[in-house]
Chain A
Amino acid sequence: MKTPLWINSVFLKVKSALSFPLTPEKYIQLFFLIFVSALALAAAILLFVDPYIYYHRSIGLRQVYTRSTAMIPGVLRHFEYDTVLFGSSMVQNFDISEMDKLLGTRSVKATTAGLTADTLSVYFDIAFASRGDNLKRCIAGVDYYAFDRNGKKLHAQYDYLYGNKLFTPQYLWSKDSFDAVSEALWNNISYPFDKVAQHEMDFNLMFSNKPGRHKYGRKYIERDIRNRTGQMIPLSSKVRDNFRNLLFKHVKNHPDTQFDIFLPPYSIYFWCVLDESGQLEDYLALRRFIVEEAALYKNARLHDFQTDLSIICDLDNYKDFSHYSPKINSSILKGISSNSHIVTPQTASRGENLIRQSISTFRPSYNALRRK
Chain B
Amino acid sequence: MLFCSYVFVLLFLPITVAGYFLLNKISRTAGRVWLFGASLYFYGYFNIYYLLLLAFSLVLNYSIGSLIYSYRKKFLLILGIVLNIFILGYFKYYDFFIDTVNTVFGTSWALKHILLPLGISFFTFQQISYLSDVYHDVLKERYSPLTYGLFVTFFPQLVAGPIVLANEMMPQFADEKNLRVNFSNLSCGIFIFSLGLAKKMLLADAFAPFGDSLFVLENPCFWDSFVGLLATHFQVYFDFSGYCDMAVGIGLMFNIHLPVNFISPYRAANIKEFWDTWHITLGRFLSQFIYFPLGGSKKGKFRTYFNLMMVFFVSGVWHGAYWMMVLWGVIHGFAVVVHRIWSKELKLKMPRPLGVVITFTFLFMILAFFKSSTWEQAKRAYLGFINFDPVRISEFSRKFEFDTFLLFAAGFIIVFFFKPASSFRENFKPAVWTLAVPVVLIICCIYTFNKISPFIYFNF
Contact = CB atoms under 8 A, between A and B. Distances in A.
Query: Interface residues of B: mostly helix, strand, loop or mixed?
Result: helix
A22 B447 contact: no
Interface string A1-44: 00000000000000001111111111110110011001100100
B449 interface: yes
A230 interface: no
Contact of A23 (B430, B434, B448): B430
B101 interface: no
B67 interface: no
Given A170-B6, A173-B449, A174-B447, A26 B430 contact: yes
A28 B187 contact: yes
Contact of B431 (A18, A31, A38, A160): A18
A20 B432 CA distance: 6
A20 B431 contact: yes
A176 B433 CA distance: 28
Query: Interface residues of A: mostly helix, strand, loop or mixed?
Result: helix
6 contacts: A20-B431, A23-B183, A38-B443, A170-B450, A174-B450, A175-B447
Interface residues of B, number: 25
A173 B447 CA distance: 5
A18 B183 contact: no
B187 A31 contact: yes
Contacts of A178: 447
Nearest to B185: A24
A18 B436 contact: yes
Interface of B: 6, 10, 182-184, 186-187, 190, 429-436, 438-439, 442-443, 446-450
A160 B7 CA distance: 14
Q: Closest 6 CB pairs between A and B?
A: A24-B183, A27-B430, A169-B6, A18-B433, A174-B450, A170-B450
A24 B187 contact: yes
Given A27-B435, A174-B449, 5 more contacts: A18-B436, A19-B431, A25-B183, A35-B439, A38-B439
B431 A21 contact: yes
A24 B186 contact: yes
Interface residues of A, number: 27
B446 A173 contact: yes
Given A169-B10, A178-B447, A31 B432 contact: no
Contacts of A21: 429-431
B187 A27 contact: yes
Most buried by B among A23, A31, A170, A173: A31
A19 B448 CA distance: 29
A93 B431 CA distance: 57
B428 to A, nearest CB: 9
A54 to B, nearest CB: 14
B450 A176 contact: yes
Contacts of A42: 443
Contacts of B448: 174-175
A343 to B, nearest CB: 43
B447 A31 contact: no
A91 B424 CA distance: 58
Contact of A28 (B186, B446, B449): B186
Contacts of B182: 24
A174 to B, nearest CB: 4
B185 to A, nearest CB: 8
A24 B431 contact: no
